[in-house]
Chain A
Amino acid sequence: MIDWSLLALNPPGWGGVLLRGLLSTMQIAVGGYLLGLVIGLFGAVGKLNGGPLMRDLLEIYTTVVRAVPELVLILILYYAGTDFLNKMLALFDYDAVDISGLVAGIFVIGIVQGAYSTEVIRGAIKSIPPGQIEAARAYAIPPAKILRRITIPAMLPYAIPGLSNLWLIATKDTALLAVVGFSELTLVTRQAAGTTKSYMLFFLAAGALYLAITLISRFLIGILERRSRRGLAGVN
């Protein structure tokens, strides 16, 4: 028999715990995704306009991150990263800091997402008709302003499908932080399931929460995509 009261919001029900886990998951997903976007934007601009050294370094970054499993990257960045940071701090006579799981999680997801968004944004910038940027240059608009006023708005329709895919991946990649012991949705679900022995109930409930994130995101992405395509000739 299914004991639905286990999902009640207040203890002894575990519903509240699950929802707090969902909140951490969303915080990390949003934070990591935004950090990834920033890295991706700079990475893409660096890959397209940077010097040869910059281009090669960015190529190494995107290739390595995309070739190594996310789980391994998360372990390396989470353990080795914090360890490295503390060693560096000790080297300069600072006290060791205890990095919060949230910050470390956002950092880790951001670095991973950054490699993928670099490629997506680079492809999108390359699909902008070159005349638009040349026209801006011809009018002597400073490069930063070209980026803000021309390149970013013009690339958005091309980038949104790839970037929305990355958002869906980001929400699911946060589950990997369960392996390093960060209390996001998947880990608290496992704890709840292990304590109450109602494995199926809790895993299915968490699955429903993840699915809800995905479906709501897809709905919003659909609206965004239609909006960003205003004025473009129909593709399909």
Chain B
Amino acid sequence: MTTAPLPANETARRDPWLKPHRLVLILIAVALVAAAIIFGRWDWLPRYLPRLWSGLLVTLAMLFGSALLGFVLAVPLGLVQVTGPWWLKAPAAAFCTMIRGTPLLLQLWLLYYGLGSLFPMIPGIREFFLWPYLREAWPYGLAALTISFAAYEGEIMRGAFAGVPSGELQAARAFGMSPAKLLWRIWLPRALHRALPTLNGETVLQLKSTPLIATITVVDLYGVISRVRQETYLTYEPLFLLALIYMLLTAILVLAFRYFENRIPTRGV
């Protein structure tokens, strides 16, 4: 597994990464950051730091919560599109097409304003044990993000299920595995294995979708920064800090996924 490095590194050895023009670029970047720190107004930062931290936690909770739930939904969505009867295949395909064909912002507002305005009309819903949650905004945000992730990832899982070599499935059947066991032991693990590399990109896309939930009053990282902008009337500083934080989060996600991907043997896929 340690022999993974490829030609890219080979050229890198002959061709040092730190070239003079890169040194200059780095210096310019450092100078820009220094200028932003010195000339920008940052006195608001300490005051908002605790709120930024809780906003970060909300963003991460939304990201991982929706990715996890969405992935669990995506597996059956992909499976029935490959092997299901038509009355399961058609709705699953229609669901994926509909969600992937409309903007997430619209879906979010449909759930929050649309469903949110319908719920109170249902008689007796106020006694329903979930009612306290239905009055808040975050369940709608989580639902919209989950549905969107499930639709995109469901499409990927469909390809992954369809791409498992049929010989492997035939071999399992020849050994007398029941359909359930075949799915659990062979088909699902092989499909997951094939779908894993795309999970990285999908998760980064999902991270970039999370700030939308701030438009329905969920106070995530983006929501905190909008609050800062409203209260301090600053244009540049909060936005640049926000972009920087998202860039760091993306980098961490990419590196973490790369680490895990390298640990999963992909031989023979």
The answer, among A67, A79, A168, A200, for a CB contact under 8 Å with B114, is A200
User: In the complex, A53→B107 CA distance in Å?
Assistant: 42
Which residues of A approach B to under 8 Å, CB–CB?
52-53, 56-57, 60, 64, 67-73, 75-76, 79-80, 83, 168, 172-176, 178-179, 186, 189-190, 193-194, 197, 199-200, 203-204, 206-207, 210-211, 213-215
Which residues of B approach A to under 8 Å, CB–CB?
19, 21-22, 25, 97-98, 100-107, 109-110, 113-118, 204, 207-212, 215, 222, 235-236, 239-240, 242-243, 246-247, 250-251
The answer, among A53, A70, A79, for a CB contact under 8 Å with B239, is A79
Q: How far is the CB of B79 from chain A (nearest CB, A)?
A: 22
List the 4 closest pairs (A to B, CB-CB), nearest first: A175-B103, A214-B101, A203-B110, A69-B208
A68 and B113 within 8 A (CB): no
Nearest chain B residue, comparing its CB with the CB of A55: B21
B247 and A207 within 8 A (CB): no
Contacts A72-B239, A203-B114; A56 near B247 (Cβ below 8 A): no
The answer, among B106, B235, B246, for a CB contact under 8 Å with A68, is B246
A69 and B246 within 8 A (CB): yes
Interchain residue pairs with CB less than 8 A apart (17): A53-B25, A67-B246, A67-B250, A68-B246, A79-B235, A79-B239, A83-B235, A174-B103, A193-B114, A197-B117, A199-B110, A204-B110, A207-B110, A210-B103, A210-B106, A211-B97, A215-B97
User: In the complex, A60→B29 CA distance in Å?
Assistant: 11
Residues of B within 8 A of A60 (CB): 25
Nearest chain A residue, comparing its CB with the CB of B238: A75
Q: How far is the CB of B100 from chain A (nearest CB, A)?
A: 8
User: In the complex, A80→B104 CA distance in Å?
Assistant: 25
A189 and B243 within 8 A (CB): no
B239 and A80 within 8 A (CB): yes
User: In the complex, A175→B212 CA distance in Å?
Assistant: 11
The answer, among A57, A69, A211, for a CB contact under 8 Å with B98, is A211
* Most chain B CB atoms below 10 A, which of A60, A186, A194: A186
Residues of A within 8 A of B114 (CB): 193, 199-200, 203-204
B212 and A75 within 8 A (CB): no
B242 and A189 within 8 A (CB): no
A203 and B242 within 8 A (CB): no
User: In the complex, A186→B210 CA distance in Å?
Assistant: 18
B240 and A76 within 8 A (CB): yes
Q: How far is the CB of B5 from chain A (nearest CB, A)?
A: 20
Q: How far is the CB of B67 from chain A (nearest CB, A)?
A: 15
User: In the complex, A179→B98 CA distance in Å?
Assistant: 23
The answer, among A56, A67, A73, A75, for a CB contact under 8 Å with B21, is A56
Residues of B within 8 A of A64 (CB): 243, 247
B109 and A211 within 8 A (CB): no
Nearest chain A residue, comparing its CB with the CB of B215: A179
Q: How far is the CB of B209 from chain A (nearest CB, A)?
A: 7
Contacts A72-B222, A211-B101; A203 near B113 (Cβ below 8 A): yes
Q: How far is the CB of A66 from chain B (nearest CB, A)?
A: 8
User: In the complex, A213→B212 CA distance in Å?
Assistant: 22
Residues of B within 8 A of A79 (CB): 235, 239
User: In the complex, A211→B103 CA distance in Å?
Assistant: 9
The answer, among B21, B101, B211, for a CB contact under 8 Å with A52, is B21
B110 and A200 within 8 A (CB): yes
Contacts A52-B21, A72-B239; A200 near B106 (Cβ below 8 A): no
User: In the complex, A230→B204 CA distance in Å?
Assistant: 36
